[in-house]
Amino acid sequence: MNQEESYQKRLAKAQEIVSQLHKNFPKKGKNQASDVSTKHQEAYFTLRQRAIKYIGIDRGRSYGQVKKILENSFPEEATENPQLIDLVIQDLIDEQYLDEYLCGRRIIKRHSGRAQKSKEYIRQLMLRQGIGERTITDLLLEIEDDRITAEAYRIIKQAEWEISNPEKVMRHLSSRGYSTGICREIVRKWLNEIRTEK
């Protein structure tokens, strides 16, 4: 079999899979919408379609992000029947089209290492992204204690800090959400290490 035939076979197989997904999609939606009264079925599917269009192939969106899009796209529905929007989003979470944990883990990753922030800072970022409280509580368990992350951050960044200005370092750590106690502890460790090296 030459390369062109192999490519054509793989392409045909991929098209068949996509076609099958499209056939199954409405059935999946119907099962989830069985609790929706007949008069709201059309609105349910319209909202669902808009939500899926927004999510696209990126499942890492939050409940709040999708809700905001639906409320902005369908203000009348949002006013008259807000629970329908919640039902659509919950169904998408149950069907794994929407993954708040993925959304939250991206935030954690973006704010670790050289961009490290405290747990509380990350919690506030997640809340602003519209991630649910229960998901946030679970995700925060995946982050090390503030003392550990602040110390790891010190080791990464201390070469850039000015020894003549420890107050600036304190403010810098504080701006990343660390408590005054942890900021003092980290600066003290840093200065003691410098003295020991000398």
* Phi, psi for residue 62 in degrees, rounded to 5: -100, 165
Domain boundaries, given as residue ranges, for the chain: 9-98, 146-198
Instruction: Report mean pLDDT in 10-residue bins for the chain, 198 residues.
Output: 63 59 46 59 92 91 93 89 92 91 96 97 96 95 97 94 92 97 95 81
SS3 content of the chain, % helix, strand, coil (to 5): 80, 0, 20
Tokens at residue 60, please? 């890492």
Rounded CA separation 51/88 (Å): 8
Instruction: Give the global pTM.
Output: 0.74
Rounded CA separation 98/91 (Å): 9
